[in-house]
Chains A and B, each alone.
Chain A
């Protein structure tokens, strides 16, 4: 969950350094190969959309002679979604690039659709037939030699997760060549393409390729056209496209795509031999079970229960108890207090170990309460990600998400939000329409607790009863449905079609899961811990100069009267402005101190869960949606959170809920 830096350059050469770009359909293993080529770990999961931004690295195999770029998966270079556009724009912006097209061997046909498009661009490439083992066990045999002859580029079989074939792949880079694969298009389209290519200015890839994209109705190029062509030239291009369209009853993109696919079908028939095997492996059975209309639900509940046991009971209970009360309570904190007592200035003593002490509060919260919970959650989540279970949830939830103005694909960012809302907000790019991205972003900020927060929540609720857990889930889900339903009605725009690839169910690879968990824990330590310390410091200062007291006073009518919580809870909510898990940790402490009963725990957790997004999330929302929308969302979320908490409070009190 740590991607950074994307280039927004379109159609201009930026670097002269030789570059290797990994391109391919979603979920074919580009990121695994990236890691192998650069020695740099990037998040790898078994579902499409893990990589939504460009990741850059330096080649490790030749001592840093190449820049290596990992790209988001693209089904077509005539992009329809944001993440596909990133890939296309990158290819158009580089001059000295070699492409490694990573293909799923089981799916040669679909991969070759992309190959024809790269071939047209005239960029030198190598084709990596990844997951060769899965193809073999499915009875698919590809004649790589023949395929290489037919497309005119090196073809290498790889099994990236086992590091097989990578050296061959690296060696083949020297022989990389622009593919000779050319699909004969309809004569009228050929003429139209030549005409457009004649009008176009200098392009970094072949003019024909850009002309083809324009013919296929790629509006992502409009902006580039506007800056690089005169009004008259654009008009002329448009006229050619319109004229070409009059000769066909289907849209040109379809005509072009169909011709490509017909050609590919004949090519595939020539190089692929399939022996039909009816082999139902256990993985296939489990996969089918988890997406079954009836069995899918118990499977989901079972998975949730396992997470509850692992994170809620074991991590948040046993581990936190041990680290907090034994490691910190008996060793670290007393030692620090003893050390600090030697310091001459009482104010500094107070700052380090007082009520809002950097060590006794900031560090204890971060390391003793949140870290073990987050760590174990990341582990559980990593296992789930690698199995391919998450995209199966899209099948189960498509209908519900339709009601909320999105489609099943939006399940992915939502579930990823359980890891980190900030990252998940970036993942909303895999959604096709603006409306879907806005609703998903909003619901993430509103209702989805991130891993750290959820861990604390699981821990607190686990101390009450299973029923508390159920009440909490029902409240949050209901809130999400109601708000989602309203948003679906109110946000203008369209819901896109639901077509998503469901990857095969796989046994998670322990090494990948561990690596991923470690990378995420490292990210947490780097990003969250300093914020915890900063937050504690701010609280300390605010407390000293009296602002905190004033704030708590202001909040008191709401916190104490409306939500029936102890006044100290207001402090936790203030902490929630910084990071929601920080606020949750404050509530955890209150509950430990016996200041929150069952109802109060649930109400305070509902409020902190629905509470405004943390600072990092807020900035990402600004980046993706703009400042105005980010502020508007926050302004909506705050009263919603308090109101929902109040309603839950009233209902639970009326029902005399005791846990």
Chain B
């Protein structure tokens, strides 16, 4: 028996289906063109770190002064020089010792912060890296080399988390704003599971203490398998033999990987 041309095209089709299945979290779409690899050199890393620092100071509501940046960035000796360089690149402006972002600067900083915090989520909750130090050092490396498209892919796989493991906000990317959510994430929030589906909890995302407490006492913590019993008029889930009715809003904080 020889392999005819018909079966070749058939196997091609099968291949296509298999690929589409594997790409189902991207909505079956092939990956987009990836922008040119970022040229990576030492100086850029320093600039990036400073951009991030400014972002975080701004986030915590403090005033961004050159003084403050120097204090928090002791191991870099030439902060003044760096700032000048960044100013000439149109990233920041400095007036009377107070630093502020330009539009470009904000965009760059958001990109970096987003990459860093998503990397942290990926490393802690999906790849289960236990040591905090390892997570931090890896995330610090990754933020400089990841392209925005790949960052979006990670974001999608993780189910568009809104906070990093430390509870800090992850800025939205274009993938989060896609309301139709054409791409299906591998990590879902509990309220995205359909009736009858089960998921294993990967991480719980909330800074609300009493909510965390309740989830803890009802045993809805990482590792627990939860089955969705009904979705309307309230979400009802099964944890072991216990039937629990919970708010959709709380279920959005519980991120699971679907297991059937």
Residues on A lying within 8 angstroms of B by beta carbon are 75-76, 78, 80, 106-107, 109-110, 113, 135, 138, 140, 217, 249-251, 253-254, 257-258, 261-262, 265, 288, 291-293, 296, 391, 394-396, 398-399, 407-408, 432, 496-504
Contact in complex: A293, B230 (CB < 8 Å): yes
Contact in complex: B247, A407 (CB < 8 Å): yes
Q: A76-B213, A106-B240, A110-B242 are in contact. Are A499 and B219 (CB under 8 A)?
A: no
Contact in complex: A80, B210 (CB < 8 Å): yes
- Choose one: A398, A503, A504; the contact of B247 (CB below 8 Å): A398
Contact in complex: A76, B240 (CB < 8 Å): no
Chain A residues with Cβ under 8 A from B213's Cβ? 76, 78, 80, 253-254, 257
- Of chain B, the residue at the smallest CB distance from A505 is B243
Chain A residues with Cβ under 8 A from B217's Cβ? 75-76, 110, 113, 257
Contact in complex: A261, B219 (CB < 8 Å): yes
Contact in complex: B233, A107 (CB < 8 Å): no
Chain A nearest CB, measured from B238 CB (Å): 10
1/0 contact string of B226-243 vs chain A (CB within 8 Å)? 000010111010001111
Q: A110-B218, A395-B236 are in contact. Are A499 and B244 (CB under 8 A)?
A: yes
Bound Cα distance A500, B213 (Å) = 14
* CB interface residues, B 190-218, toward A, < 8 Å: 204, 208-218
Chain B nearest CB, measured from A142 CB (Å): 12
Chain B residues with Cβ under 8 A from A501's Cβ? 218, 242-244
Chain B residues with Cβ under 8 A from A408's Cβ? 234, 245
Chain A residues with Cβ under 8 A from B216's Cβ? 76, 113, 253-254, 257-258, 261
Contact in complex: A257, B241 (CB < 8 Å): no
Chain B residues with Cβ under 8 A from A107's Cβ? 240-242
- Choose one: B212, B214, B215, B243; the contact of A502 (CB below 8 Å): B243
Going nearest first, the 3 A-B pairs with the smallest beta carbon separation are A257-B216, A293-B232, A106-B241
- Of chain B, the residue at the smallest CB distance from A391 is B245
Chain A residues with Cβ under 8 A from B208's Cβ? 497
Contact in complex: A499, B221 (CB < 8 Å): no
Chain B nearest CB, measured from A433 CB (Å): 9
Q: A80-B210, A395-B236, A408-B234 are in contact. Are A502 and B245 (CB under 8 A)?
A: yes
Contact in complex: B210, A499 (CB < 8 Å): no
Contact in complex: B233, A293 (CB < 8 Å): yes
Contact in complex: A500, B233 (CB < 8 Å): no
26 A-B contact pairs sorted by A residue (CB < 8 Å): A76-B213, A110-B217, A138-B241, A140-B241, A249-B132, A249-B166, A253-B212, A253-B216, A254-B212, A257-B216, A261-B216, A265-B223, A291-B230, A391-B245, A395-B233, A396-B233, A399-B233, A432-B210, A497-B247, A498-B245, A498-B246, A499-B245, A499-B247, A501-B242, A502-B236, A502-B243
Chain B residues with Cβ under 8 A from A498's Cβ? 234, 245-247, 250
> Given known contacts A499-B247, A503-B243, what 14 new A-B pairs fall within 8 Å (CB)?
A76-B213, A107-B241, A113-B216, A217-B209, A249-B165, A251-B209, A254-B216, A265-B223, A293-B233, A395-B236, A497-B214, A497-B246, A498-B246, A499-B245
Chain B CB count within 10 A is highest, among A78, A258, A262, for A258
- B167: Cβ under 8 A from any A Cβ: yes
Interface residues of B, CB < 8 Å — how many? 36
Chain A nearest CB, measured from B112 CB (Å): 20
Chain B residues with Cβ under 8 A from A258's Cβ? 216, 221-222
Residues on B lying within 8 angstroms of A by beta carbon are 132, 165-167, 204, 208-219, 221-224, 230, 232-234, 236, 240-247, 249-250
Chain A residues with Cβ under 8 A from B234's Cβ? 394-396, 398-399, 408, 498
- Of chain B, the residue at the smallest CB distance from A402 is B247
Chain A residues with Cβ under 8 A from B247's Cβ? 398, 407, 497-499
Bound Cα distance A277, B129 (Å) = 36
Chain A nearest CB, measured from B46 CB (Å): 27
- Of chain B, the residue at the smallest CB distance from A396 is B233
Chain B nearest CB, measured from A130 CB (Å): 13
Contact in complex: B219, A398 (CB < 8 Å): no
Chain A residues with Cβ under 8 A from B204's Cβ? 254
Contact in complex: A296, B214 (CB < 8 Å): no
Chain A residues with Cβ under 8 A from B223's Cβ? 261-262, 265
Chain B residues with Cβ under 8 A from A265's Cβ? 223
Chain A residues with Cβ under 8 A from B167's Cβ? 249
Chain A nearest CB, measured from B121 CB (Å): 11
- Of chain B, the residue at the smallest CB distance from A77 is B217
Chain A residues with Cβ under 8 A from B219's Cβ? 109-110, 113, 261
Chain A nearest CB, measured from B85 CB (Å): 34
Contact in complex: A398, B233 (CB < 8 Å): yes
Bound Cα distance A135, B241 (Å) = 9
Contact in complex: A504, B246 (CB < 8 Å): no
Contact in complex: A496, B210 (CB < 8 Å): yes
Chain B nearest CB, measured from A72 CB (Å): 14
Bound Cα distance A254, B232 (Å) = 29
- Of chain B, the residue at the smallest CB distance from A494 is B210
Bound Cα distance A251, B165 (Å) = 11
Contact in complex: A497, B211 (CB < 8 Å): yes
Chain A nearest CB, measured from B219 CB (Å): 5
Bound Cα distance A78, B165 (Å) = 24
Chain A residues with Cβ under 8 A from B212's Cβ? 250-251, 253-254
Chain B nearest CB, measured from A24 CB (Å): 13
Chain B residues with Cβ under 8 A from A251's Cβ? 209, 212
- Of chain B, the residue at the smallest CB distance from A84 is B217
Chain B nearest CB, measured from A82 CB (Å): 14
- Of chain B, the residue at the smallest CB distance from A265 is B223
Chain A nearest CB, measured from B137 CB (Å): 16
Q: A395-B233, A497-B250, A499-B250 are in contact. Are A504 and B243 (CB under 8 A)?
A: yes
Q: A293-B233, A296-B233, A432-B210 are in contact. Are A257 and B244 (CB under 8 A)?
A: no
Chain B residues with Cβ under 8 A from A110's Cβ? 217-219, 240, 242
Chain A residues with Cβ under 8 A from B236's Cβ? 291, 395, 502
Q: A75-B217, A395-B234, A499-B218 are in contact. Are A109 and B245 (CB under 8 A)?
A: no
